[in-house]
Amino acid sequence: MSETIHIETTINGRDRAFEVAANLTLLDVLRDQLGLTGSKECCVVGECGACTVIMDGIPMNSCLMLAVEIDGRDVITVEGLATDGHLNALQQAFLDLSAPQCGFCIPGQLMSAHALLQRNSDPTIDDVNEALGGNLCRCAGYLQITEAVMVAAKAGKE
């Protein structure tokens, strides 16, 4: 049995303390141990972005991190975007513009977009393309995804 380590972390605004095995990735622990299956497992080598989470405000690939690395940190997964069952403006824009097709890449796209909008409330199309460049969509709905982020940014300003 691998070494287990006690960690204390904030996930989606909730303080949590639990044991993790040293040799598990954050993605494994989110999905299999915490039941947060919004983050998707796809390439597991950092190429697709389906596993993107935000740690201390910064988007990262959870498949490239050990779970123990979130000790003492603040993590947001896609489950943390909605409040009280209400989608946030970004999620609503994705829905309104039919950005999701099969939907598999969408949690990662949302996390990258959310991190961008937190940093830059008035992005250009180029900013959006750059920020979402690490998120592949095999349904190739890139236009709608970019558009949705721009719409959400505008909505946020009003």
Partner 1 sequence: MKEFSYERPESLDEAIRVLAASGSDVEILAGGTDLVIAMRDRYREPTVVVDLKRIAEFYPSLVWDGDTVTLSATATMTEVVDDEGINRHFPALAEAAVVVGSVQIRNRATLLGNICNGSPAADTAPPLLVYDAIVVVAGPAGIRRVAIDDFIVGPGRTNLQDGEIAIALELTVPSRPLGSAYERMTRRRGTDLASVTLCAAVDDAGITRVAFGSVGPRAWLRVDETGVLADPDAPAEARAAVFEGIFADASPSVKSLRASPDYRRAMLRVLGARAVGRARGRLAEVRGVS
Binding site for ligand FES (CB under 6 A): 41-44, 46-51, 61, 63, 100-106, 137-139, 141
Nearer to ligand FES, 6 or 102 (CB): 102
In this chain, which of 29, 99, 131, 151 binds partner 1, going by CB under 8 A? 131
From edge to edge, which strands make up the β-sheet containing 4-11?
14-21, 4-11, 74-76, 52-55, 58-61
Q: Does 119 bind partner 1 (CB under 8 A)?
A: no
Rounded to whole angstroms, the Cα distance separating 55 from 77 reads 9
**Member of 10, 41, 134, 156 binding partner 1 (CB under 8 A):** 134
- Rank residues 45 and 84 by Cβ distance to partner 1 and give the closer one: 45
Q: Which does 126 bind (CB under 5 to 8 A by kind): partner 1, ligand FES, none?
A: none
Residue type, 113: A
Q: How far is the CB of 145 from ligand FES (least distance, A)?
A: 8
Q: Which of 62, 60, 55 is nearest to 10 (CA)?
A: 55
124 lies in the binding site for partner 1 (CB under 8 A): no
| Residue of 133, 107, 134 lying closest to 48 (CA atoms) | 134
CA angle 115, 54, 44 (to 5 degrees): 115
